[in-house]
Structure 1
Amino acid sequence: MVQVVVLEDRPAHREELMGLLEQWTLADQLEIECAAAPDELRELVRRTPVDILLTDIDLGEGESSGIQLVQELFPAESGTQVIYMTGYPVRFCTEVYQTEHIYFLTKPLRREELYIALDRAVRNLSRREERRIAIQSGGRIIPLSTARIYYVESDRRLARLYTMQGTVESYISLARLLPQLGPAFVQCHKSFLINMAQVTQLESDSLLMKNGDRVPISQAHRKEMREAYLSYLTCRL
Structure 2
Amino acid sequence: MNLKCIIVDDEPNAVNLLEVLIGQTTGWQLVGKCYNALEAIAFFKKQQADLIFLDINMPQLSGMELAGLLPTETRIVFTTAYAEYAAESYTYQTIDYLLKPITLKRFLASVKKIEAAFEKIPLVQKTGEPDESNYFFVKSGKTLRKVLLEEVLYFEGEKEYVRLVTANEEILLYRRLKDIDEQLSPPFVRVHNSYIVNTKLLRKFQDNHIYIGNKQIPVSEKFREGFMQLIRQRIF
Return the TM-score normalized by structure 1.
0.56
Separation in structure 2 between the aligned mates of residue 9 and residue 106 of structure 1, nearest angstrom = 15
Unaligned stretches of 5+ residues in structure 2: 139-146, 156-164, 182-236
**3-state SS of 1:93 partner:** helix
Give 1:118's aligned residue: 111
Separation in structure 2 between the aligned mates of residue 17 and residue 23 of structure 1, nearest angstrom = 10
What number of residue pairs does the alignment pair up? 163
**Identity %, equivalent residues:** 16
Query: C-alpha offsets along residues 204-227 of structure 1, whole Å, 9 cap, x if unaligned?
Result: xx96xxxxxxxxx5xxxx33xx32
Runs of 4+ in 1 over 4 A off after TM superposition: 129-132, 197-202, 230-235
Q: Indicate which of 50, 57, 61 corresponds to 1:64.
A: 61
Distance of aligned partners of 1:129 and 1:82 in 2 relative to their CA distance in 1, 3 Å threshold: closer
The one-letter code sitting in structure 1 at the alignment partner of 2:135 is: P
Distance of aligned partners of 1:55 and 1:131 in 2 relative to their CA distance in 1, 3 Å threshold: closer
The one-letter code sitting in structure 2 at the alignment partner of 1:65 is: S
Deviation at 1:53, TM superposition (A): 1.0
Unaligned stretches of 5+ residues in structure 1: 133-142, 150-160, 164-177, 187-193, 208-216
Give 2:75's aligned residue: 81
Richer in helix (by share): 1
**3-state SS of 1:72 partner:** coil
CA contact 1:131–1:182 (8 Å) conserved in 2 = no
Give 1:236's aligned residue: 180
Separation in structure 2 between the aligned mates of residue 227 and residue 44 of structure 1, nearest angstrom = 42
Give 1:98's aligned residue: 91
Deviation at 1:14, TM superposition (A): 0.9
The one-letter code sitting in structure 1 at the alignment partner of 2:116 is: R
Structure with greater contact order relative to length (CA < 8 Å, sep ≥ 6): 2
**3-state SS of 1:94 partner:** helix
The one-letter code sitting in structure 2 at the alignment partner of 1:112 is: K
Alignment of 1:154-165 (within 5 A): 161=129
CA contact 2:5–2:51 (8 Å) conserved in 1 = yes
Q: Indicate which of 167, 171, 177 corresponds to 1:227.
A: 171
Separation in structure 2 between the aligned mates of residue 131 and residue 10 of structure 1, nearest angstrom = 27
CA contact 1:184–1:232 (8 Å) conserved in 2 = no
Deviation at 1:9, TM superposition (A): 0.9
Separation in structure 1 between the aligned mates of residue 21 and residue 149 of structure 2, nearest angstrom = 38
Return the TM-score normalized by structure 2.
0.57
**3-state SS of 1:227 partner:** strand
CA contact 2:5–2:29 (8 Å) conserved in 1 = yes
